[in-house]
Amino acid sequence: MTGQTLTNSLSGEGYAVEFHPEQDCVRMSGALRLGGLAEYGPISAMLEDALNGRERLVLDLSELEFLNSSGIATLSKFVILARNHGDCALVICGSRDIAWQGKSLNNLKRLMPALELRFE
Amino acid sequence: MAEQYGEFRELRYDSDTESLNLSFWPGSIPLQQRWRNNGLSADFLGDYVTTFFPLDENAPATRARQNEVKGAVAFIANELLENAMKFHDGALPEPITVHMNLQRDRILLQQSNGVSGKAAERFRDFVKTLRENDPDELFIRQMEESALSEDSAGVGYLTMINDYQAELAWRFDALAEAAYRVTTQVTIRL
């Protein structure tokens, strides 16, 4: 993390990612279609920061309408990181009304069996 | 003769088929400025097909069905457009084209762009790897092994196959000066 300024809020055209440390929660909303893993770097850094020193972290995706494959790869890598990290319980909240989540979120559970996946 | 991997289905133009064509020349404005059009175009294609999957308030399943088809088209079209933008060789006198063909029992999304010989070779290797491996295992393996990798293009194709049960086919047509026109066809069964 050295040399990188950590922030609790990232946003761009059509999306927002917010870290709420007091709620142990990161919320992603809107449509995320950044152009490759490098462009997702600041989001990865925020997620990694949220994981450190925490016993439990909720990743709330219930308002994330769209995620491209670079975003799916970013989430997958984060889940692997959380699994390898070991001391933080990870909960991912999704929505049944958002088509991609019903299709793709289950793959994360395969990467990290201890992951708690909740659909509202 | 063109090299082909997988089964290409015929694009139809008849009274049972709806179709839309997009084509553009990425050299005209920078990629960064054009990137947002991927989402706009993909969402448009997703919204467009909802007309053909109307809602029936007495049948709640119609809402889920419409949502599912719209989501599948928007995701797949977006991936195809992103890949075209990333890998198209702007030096070639070739456009990027995207075609949607909505047939009775399937939706075909076909995208085509020009690539240099070197890029075609890398992509051909990737297509072969994809066809020779179990896509589910390949996804897990790629995620585990590529924790630091910059390349996530394969994840898009793997997601189409694994999560959307799409069938993919590719064609490489030789152009002048060792370049190729690469066409990807994705079939979603209805």
- Residues 97-156 on B with a CB inside 8 Å of A are 139-140, 143-144, 146-147, 149-153, 155-156
Given a cut of 50, whether residue B134 has pLDDT beyond it is yes
Q: Which residue of A has its CA nearest to B34?
A: A35
Tokens representing residue B4 in the block: 């082909």
Which domains does chain B show, CATH number per domain? Answer: 3-189 (3.30.565.10)
Find all residues with CB under 8 Å of B123, minimum gap 6, and list them: B87, B115, B182
Query: At B186, is the secondary structure helix, strand, or coil?
Result: strand
What's the mean per-residue pLDDT of chain B? Answer: 92
Q: Which domain holds residue A49?
A: 9-119
Q: Which ipTM did the prediction report?
A: 0.92
**A35 neighbourhood in chain B, CB within 8 Å:** 31-32, 35, 82, 86
pLDDT score for B149: 56
In a domain, A69, yes or no: yes
pLDDT band with cut points at 50, 70 and 90 for residue A3: very low
Question: Are the beta carbons of A107 and B162 separated by less than 8 Å?
Answer: yes
Given a cut of 90, whether residue B146 has pLDDT beyond it is no
In a domain, A68, yes or no: yes
CA distance B139 to B155: 7
pLDDT score for B1: 62
What is the 3 state secondary structure string of chain A? CCCCCCCCEEEECCEEEEEEHHHCEEEEEEEECCCCHHHHHHHHHHHHHHHCCCCEEEEEEEEEEEECHHHHHHHHHHHHHHHHHCCCEEEEEECCCCHHHHHHCHHHHHHCCCCEEEEC
Tokens representing residue B121 in the block: 């070779």
CB atoms within 10 A of CB B178: 11
A23 contact B CB<8A: no
CA distance A64 to A100: 10
Q: Which residue has the higher pLDDT, A70 or B25?
A: A70
- Considering only the beta carbons, identify the residue of A37, A68, A103 that sits closest to B78: A68
In a domain, A109, yes or no: yes
A44 contact B CB<8A: no
Question: In Å, how far is B138's CA from the nearest CA of chain A?
Answer: 12
Q: How many CA atoms lie within 13 A of B95 on its CB side?
A: 8
Conformation bin of residue A46: beta by default, left when phi > 0, alpha when psi is -120 to 50: alpha
**A66 neighbourhood in chain B, CB within 8 Å:** 39, 43, 74-75, 78
pLDDT score for B121: 93
Given a cut of 80, whether residue A9 has pLDDT beyond it is yes
In a domain, A96, yes or no: yes
How many residue pairs from chains A and B have C-beta atoms closer than 8 A? Answer: 79
A89: domain CATH number is 3.30.750.24
In a domain, A4, yes or no: no
Structural domain count, chain A: 1
